[in-house]
Amino acid sequence: MIYDIAIIGAGASGLMCASMLNNSKQKVVLLESSSSCANKIMISGGAKCNITNRYMDISKFLCDEHFVQKSLYKFDHKDMLNFLKENKIYPMLNEKIVKGSYFCKNSKQVVDMFLRLTTNIKKELNFKVLDITYKDNIFDIVSKNHTIKAVKVVVASGGKSFETLGSSDIAYDIAKKFGHKIITTAPALVGWTVQKEQFWFKSLSGLSLDVKIKINNKTIYGSMLFTHKGCSGPAVLNASLYWTKGFVTIDFAPNQNSHLPRRFRQIAKKEGIDLKNYTFAPAGNFGYTKAEITKGGVDTNQIDEETFQSKLQKNLFFIGELLDVSGQLGGYNLQWAINNGFICGKFLKN
């Protein structure tokens, strides 16, 4: 059998794309490397699925702004909320961690929704893609046990973060095989390890403070958590999006009414810390196993923002986290992934 469309990856972007094709007359197959769909959705937002943000804005993304700007508003946060409402899911605004964040009752209801919306789509689980070839206008998608043939292929297999959930770098291998440039990938939305000079962080493990972090031309506000490895928390995770190497500056008392715990004040005094202007260089980060997303990826200059089709290979599409588009915490990345699936699926349906 030759399928009309094969979608590689049953995460948020792949499932949304498949849902758009559920009632089409085309033969569609969804290929997933693990034994179940949407594993990353299941753990997102502490298993409550932080699915979008009311302040969806280009400034919250590390990306080619022109590419994302043209795509983002074709399925924005209002469209997302309406889509969920139509499927009897009613996210609630919860701004405890990030301003504008919408959370669902639980992640399972989102996964169940996508499974209901893709009942007519053939699903091949435990299908680990090893290679893709293209000949005579047909793609051969090769796994260990068998090969799937398709006229069109949508790559939606995500980035490198959360390898335990089945993530891999196959998307980048496929992209490179067809001539695409890969912007250097790295863990993002991830905590930092520290140099010897910051080992005092470890003695405060478990303590959280509201801080302001300056990194390059960005200013990040939020909570910072001291850990036994270094530091984490929403402010650090967001700052990690913009850090490659070099120095960052932390203001431990960003507000006039900042209340600093006694334990922190004692250690800060002992270490001679400048509370308003503490500058240090992280040693590194906690790695892909702790990272919420992968930054970098397939160069969006080689992707058509109207359809997400490759500009280098016809009938080959790239959507979701594997692209060089990364958002801050607060529902931005899940909104982007589902947005991509909507746009690509709508195009393929027509």
Provide the 3-class DSSP secondary structure of residue 103.
Answer: strand
CA distance 22 to 51: 22
The pLDDT tens digits of the residues spanning 168-203 come to 789 999 999 999 999 999 999 999 999 999 999 999
CB-CB contact of 91 with 84 (8 Å): yes
Domain termination residue (choose one: 253, 285, 317): 285
pLDDT at 164 over 80: no
Q: Is the domain of 164 the same as that of 224? A: no
> How does DSSP classify residue 44?
H
Q: Is the domain of 241 the same as that of 308? A: no
CA distance 306 to 204: 49
The pLDDT tens digits of the residues spanning 226-239 come to 999 999 999 999 99
Q: Is the domain of 113 the same as that of 195? A: no
The pLDDT tens digits of the residues spanning 289-309 come to 999 999 999 999 999 999 999
Q: Is the domain of 45 the same as that of 173? A: yes
The pLDDT tens digits of the residues spanning 252-262 come to 999 988 889 99
Q: Is the domain of 179 the same as that of 208? A: no
Helix intervals (H) in 255-331: 262-271
For 198, list phi and psi in degrees, rounded to 5.
-110, 15
Helix intervals (H) in the chain: 12-20, 39-47, 65-72, 77-86, 107-116, 170-177, 234-240, 262-271, 332-349
pLDDT at 162 over 80: no
Q: Is the domain of 68 the same as that of 215? A: no
Q: Is the domain of 231 the same as that of 133? A: no
- Give the pLDDT of residue 32: 96
Domain termination residue (choose one: 255, 285, 315): 285
Residue type at 160 in one-letter notation: K
3-state helix, strand, coil in the chain (%, to 5): 30, 30, 40
CA distance 112 to 115: 5
The pLDDT tens digits of the residues spanning 322-344 come to 999 999 999 999 999 999 999 99
DSSP string over 70-86:
HHHTTS-HHHHHHHHHH
The pLDDT tens digits of the residues spanning 41-84 come to 999 999 999 999 999 999 999 999 999 998 999 999 999 999 99
- Give the pLDDT of residue 263: 95
Gyration radius of the chain over CA positions: 21
CA distance 339 to 308: 11
pTM above 0.75, yes or no: yes
> How does DSSP classify residue 337?
H
Split at pLDDT 50, 70, 90, the class of 167 is low
Furthest C-alpha separation in the chain: 71
CATH of the domain at 343: 3.50.50.60
Q: Is the domain of 228 the same as that of 101? A: no
Residues 6+ apart with CB under 8 A from 313: 134, 178, 179
Q: Is the domain of 97 the same as that of 140? A: yes
Domain termination residue (choose one: 260, 285, 310): 285
Q: Is the domain of 33 the same as that of 119? A: yes
Report the percent of the chain where pLDDT is more than 70. 99
CA distance 325 to 333: 9
Domain count of the fold of the chain: 2
Containing structural domain, residue 170: 2-186+294-349
- Calculate the alpha carbon distances from 254 to 123, 195, 248, 259, 316 in Å: 51, 24, 15, 10, 48
